[in-house]
């Protein structure tokens, strides 16, 4: 149903609501009003879209950027979490993968810290989670290979496919034993390295990032 426009909150109040700046006492009644007011829902939806565009624009990476000690070298792609770059770590003189996270939240940080504590041959290693201004990033093992979807484009013997499935299952089992639930298992999140290793990546981060965006 449509709300009474005379009782609708101001544009500033709705903007603060979208930005998550209201405490429970103020945000609770406003949330109830928005749920029942078509006009306010449209305004909130538009404000949330603008906010997401601003965050996305401010978090985009550029070749040569420094994020902490890492230097972005080349762009590898873009996913639900954000852009992915190959980067150089001068301290250990190695290449790593850097994922620029569109949404920075304590939940994402907790998830990445939990992943960093997991050490298993079938799970992509997370090295570090950091921030640089408004940009949050995750530094992890750079895997030279293909996603499972890309790997399956070439016809494979059933034994090869079974070996990959078993290896991915071992990685998931290790994660579950450590209290981590993937939440987003799909071919794009299973990597086949050139050396034959199978590694599971993006434990919950992609799904979690989408959840955070939906709340904005």
Query: Is-contact 30 9, C-beta < 8 A?
Result: yes
161 and 126, same structural domain?
A: yes
Judged by average pLDDT, the poorest of 55-59, 180-184, 200-204 is 55-59
- Active site annotation includes 184: yes
Cα–Cα distance, 199 to 193 (Å, whole number): 8
Question: What is the pLDDT of the chain when averaged over all its residues?
Answer: 79
Confidence of residue 202 (pLDDT cuts 50, 70, 90): confident
Q: Where are the beta strands (DSSP E) in 62-213?
A: 66-67, 70-78, 83-89, 94-101, 126-132, 135-141, 145-147, 190-193, 198-200
103 and 35, same structural domain?
A: no
Count the residues in the chain: 216
111 and 12, same structural domain?
A: no
pLDDT digits (tens, 9 = 90+) for 71-109: 999 999 876 667 889 999 999 999 999 988 766 666 667
72 and 171, same structural domain?
A: yes
Burial class (CB in 10 A: 0-12, 13-18, 19+), 157: exposed
Section 170-184 average pLDDT: 87
Parent domain of 145: 66-215
- For residues 3 and 211, the model is more confident at 211
- For residues 82 and 137, the model is more confident at 137
Q: How many CB atoms lie within 10 A of CB 215?
A: 11
Last residue of a domain, one of 40, 58, 76: 58
CATH number at residue 9: 1.10.10
Across the strands, what pairs with 135? Answer: 132
pLDDT over 90 (residue 33)? no
Cα–Cα distance, 113 to 121 (Å, whole number): 18
pLDDT over 80 (residue 8)? yes
What's the predicted TM-score (pTM) here?
A: 0.65
pLDDT over 80 (residue 63)? yes
> Smallest Cα–Cα separation from 121: which of 168, 163, 87?
168
Domain count of the chain?
2
134 and 187, same structural domain?
A: yes
Give the pLDDT of residue 9: 79
pLDDT over 80 (residue 154)? yes
22 and 79, same structural domain?
A: no
CA distances from 59 to 55, 56, 104, 141, 169 (A): 6, 5, 10, 21, 34
Query: What percent of the chain shows pLDDT beyond 70?
Result: 71
> Which is the catalytic residue, given 26, 184, 202, 211?
184
């Amino acid at each position: 149903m449509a709300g009474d426009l005379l009782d609708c909150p101001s544009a500033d109040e709705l903007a603060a609501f979208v930005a998550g700046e209201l405490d429970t006492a103020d945000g609770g009644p406003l949330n109830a009003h928005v749920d029942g007011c078509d006009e306010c829902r449209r305004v909130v939806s538009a404000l949330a879209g603008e906010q997401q565009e601003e965050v996305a624009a401010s978090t985009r990476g550029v070749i040569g950027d420094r994020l902490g000690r890492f230097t972005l070298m080349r762009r590898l792609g873009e996913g639900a979490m954000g852009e992915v770059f190959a980067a150089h770590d001068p301290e250990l003189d190695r290449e790593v993968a850097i994922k620029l996270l569109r949404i920075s939240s304590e939940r994402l940080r907790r998830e990445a810290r939990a992943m960093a504590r997991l050490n298993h041959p079938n799970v992509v290693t997370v090295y570090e989670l950091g921030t640089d201004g408004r940009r949050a990033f995750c530094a992890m093992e750079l895997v030279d290979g293909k996603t499972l979807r890309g790997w399956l484009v070439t016809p494979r013997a059933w034994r090869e496919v079974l070996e990959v499935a078993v290896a991915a299952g071992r990685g998931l089992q290790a994660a579950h034993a450590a209290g981590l639930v993937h939440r987003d298992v799909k071919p794009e999140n299973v990597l086949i390295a050139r050396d034959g290793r199978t590694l599971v990546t993006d434990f919950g981060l992609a799904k979690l990032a989408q959840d955070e965006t939906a709340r904005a």
